[in-house]
Structure 1
Amino acid sequence: MRTLTHEIEKFAKDKKLEIETLKVRENYRKEFFGNVSHELKTPLFTVQGYIETLLDGAMDDKKVRKKYLQRANKGVERLIYIVKDLDMITKLEVGDLHLEYEEFDIVELVQSVFEMFEMKAAKKNITLTFDMPYDEPIMVYADKERIQQVVTNLVVNSIKYGREEGTTEVSIENLIKNKVIVRITDNGEGIEKHNIARIFERFYRIDKSGSRKEGGSGLGLSIVKHIIEAHKEKIYVESVFGMGSEFSFTLEKAK
């Protein structure tokens, strides 16, 4: 009887845990679809609004026509951006995205990303910098285009959530014999502890209202995680709310 009672209790406990897990997943699913709906709905309604205004007579004014068509085009571009990012994540998840491995200098790649976004950083007086001079190349073996996307997304995020007069700093360190770790650190807003576990989810927003005005698809960190994991590498995040964040990922050294 004691054994039977123990087995029944264990079964009940396991079932309770399973039900709780399913409830959490269901909540995530509802939140995800709600977020997808919001992200697609906003630019769709924007485009529709401008086109309807043009059809209602604004098309006769040449200046208004050009301005509204440009704004509608921006809405379409945002929709394309979101759909492309979703398509990429889907391909990464099912292993459909082929990685083109090559040897390249990660220092040079980071520098090129800095150059691409120095104007964006300058608007908030944020300094993009290395932690020290890297006079020699650091050669790694990975898909260069995808790793550039990883660095780009992380640098853009650090600017987006960085503080005025702040800093985004990149360091590249030896981890073990055949690995390096790339760290991207900022002294911006930081992330509250309860948000850290979910920041790599699709469309998950730490700031449910303000962050949307910054643009982007809301998929940047999810794409970063999938690309790094597709390389069979690791990504880490450490953050102190109000002080800043550090995202880091590993790469294989070139032989």
Structure 2
Amino acid sequence: MKLRVLILINAAAVAIALSAVNYYFQHNWYDVGITFVLSFAISFIIFYYLIEKYVYSKIKLIYKLIHNLKLGRDLRDALGDHIVSADPIKDVQQEVKEWASQKKIEIDELRKQEKFRREFLSNISHEFKTPLFAIQGYIEAIQDDNFEDTDMAAQFLEKASKNVDRLSYLIKDLDEISKLESGEIPINYSKFKVNDLIKEVFESLELKANQHSIRLIFKQKYDEPFLVTADREKIRQVLVNLIDNSFKYGKEGGTTSVSVFDLHDQVLIEVTDDGIGIEEHNLPRLFERFFRTDQSRSRQIGGSGLGLAIVKHIIEAHQQTINVRSTAGLGSTFGFTLQKVKQIQFPAIPVLKS
């Protein structure tokens, strides 16, 4: 509608201009009227044809292309579609705004992914170089000594072996996290008592806890065990990783406790330590691959730097959530949820009195 009004105004302007010129030379109102009508009609047709052919049709094509691209359809489908719109210029304006906003979000996301890729490549390069250079150094030292000092050679071989183990753990964890992301590792759901699983994990880590002088505590507030549905072995891995992490960053003579809370249709499991804690600005990145809050201490402790990332992927593969809260110098608490098995309520059977 606005387009036709614009054409009418332009045609009228041309007709008035030509009529004024005719009146200037002829001074005949009859000729002026004919000139106005003819020039108005011809101008309207010309303007309408030009705008329709070179502007309107192009705008309609752009609109169809943007609209179909937003829907993820093929360009050939977009070109072949016929769109019905009362005001395609207004629609194009709205579509372009939405399209530009969407593209900005996509570009920002691509930039984040590119930054993550660079950091990941840098981290993985560093993680591989450290043990490789150590192995290379030990082997060269043994070769230079020509095995004359057998005690030194044995010590260096043992250290090289530990670095080989570190590489093996790193490769295994990288393979596992890759398969978790791609969905190649299935989640084998089963029903089990999470209380029993926690006790089993405590028993398997009791020796390691004693080595770190850390006491394990299971805060079981409820007499009834919690029956959950999840992949038992993967949840075992989650608990082992979290508890083992509390050993690495705990304090000598400290405690690591596991608590279970009833959340109606879910179970919340929390692993709490009283170790060095985590500074607040590090919390958002804690589950990233290779992210370490204390680089120097982390190198001494060892590990692949992928434990928390694997934990996060396992919990999210169960369509559950994991979170962390921590205070530097006081300790940390990692909590994750599991789906509780729904109990079927049977109606009470009335007792017939004789």
- TM above 0.5: yes
Q: Which moved more, 1:240-249 or 1:120-129?
A: 120-129
Deviations 1:61-98 (A, max 9, x none): 43333322222111111101000000000000010002
Of 246, 255, 262, 1:174 maps to 262
| Structure in which a larger fraction of residues adopt strand | 1
Task: Give how far 1:115 is off.
Answer: 2.4
1:197 alignment partner, SS class: helix
Aligned partner letter, 1:87: D
Task: Give how far 1:10 is off.
Answer: 8.1
Q: For the structure 1 residues 99 and 135, does the alpha-carbon distance in structure 2 shift closer, same or farther, using more than 3 Å as the test? A: same
Alignment of 1:149-160 (within 5 A): 149-160=237-248
Determine whether 1:142 maps to 2:196.
no
Q: Which moved more, 1:38-47 or 1:65-74?
A: 65-74
| Cα distance in 1, alignment partners of residues 188 and 93 from structure 2 | 57
Of 19, 26, 30, 2:114 maps to 26
Alignment of 1:193-208 (within 5 A): 193-208=280-295
Using the aligned pairs only, state the percent identity. 50
Q: For the structure 1 residues 63 and 234, does the alpha-carbon distance in structure 2 shift closer, same or farther, using more than 3 Å as the test? A: same
Aligned partner letter, 2:326: S
| 2:334 paired residue number | 247
Determine whether 1:210 maps to 2:292.
no
Deviations 1:142-187 (A, max 9, x none): 211111110011001112112333221111121123x211111122
2:309 alignment partner, SS class: helix
The size of the alignment, in residue pairs, is: 254
| Cα distance in 2, alignment partners of residues 9 and 92 from structure 1 | 37
| 2:317 paired residue number | 230
Q: For the structure 1 residues 201 and 60, does the alpha-carbon distance in structure 2 shift closer, same or farther, using more than 3 Å as the test? A: same
Aligned partner letter, 1:161: Y
Contact map agreement 1:89 1:226 (CA 8 A) in 2: yes
Q: Which moved more, 1:77-86 or 1:157-166?
A: 157-166
Task: Give how far 1:239 is off.
Answer: 1.8
Aligned partner letter, 1:163: K
| 1:72 paired residue number | 160
Q: TM-score w.r.t. structure 1 length?
A: 0.86
| Cα distance in 2, alignment partners of residues 174 and 47 from structure 1 | 49
Aligned partner letter, 2:308: L
**Which is greater in Rg?**
2
| Structure in which a larger fraction of residues adopt helix | 2
Task: Give how far 1:226 is off.
Answer: 0.5
Query: Structure 2: any 5+ residue segments left out of the alignment?
Result: 1-90, 343-354
Query: Structure 1: any 5+ residue segments left out of the alignment?
Result: none
| Cα distance in 1, alignment partners of residues 184 and 214 from structure 2 | 37
| 2:36 paired residue number | none
| Cα distance in 1, alignment partners of residues 174 and 277 from structure 2 | 26
| Cα distance in 2, alignment partners of residues 73 and 122 from structure 1 | 25
| Cα distance in 2, alignment partners of residues 183 and 94 from structure 1 | 28
Of 130, 136, 139, 1:42 maps to 130
Contact map agreement 1:107 1:134 (CA 8 A) in 2: no
Q: For the structure 1 residues 14 and 209, does the alpha-carbon distance in structure 2 shift closer, same or farther, using more than 3 Å as the test? A: farther
Task: Give how far 1:192 is off.
Answer: 1.8
| Cα distance in 1, alignment partners of residues 336 and 133 from structure 2 | 38
| Cα distance in 2, alignment partners of residues 201 and 114 from structure 1 | 27
Aligned partner letter, 2:302: G
| Cα distance in 2, alignment partners of residues 138 and 16 from structure 1 | 46
Aligned partner letter, 2:288: E
Contact map agreement 2:259 2:271 (CA 8 A) in 1: yes
Task: Give how far 1:113 is off.
Answer: 2.0
Of 169, 179, 188, 1:81 maps to 169
| Cα distance in 1, alignment partners of residues 317 and 259 from structure 2 | 22
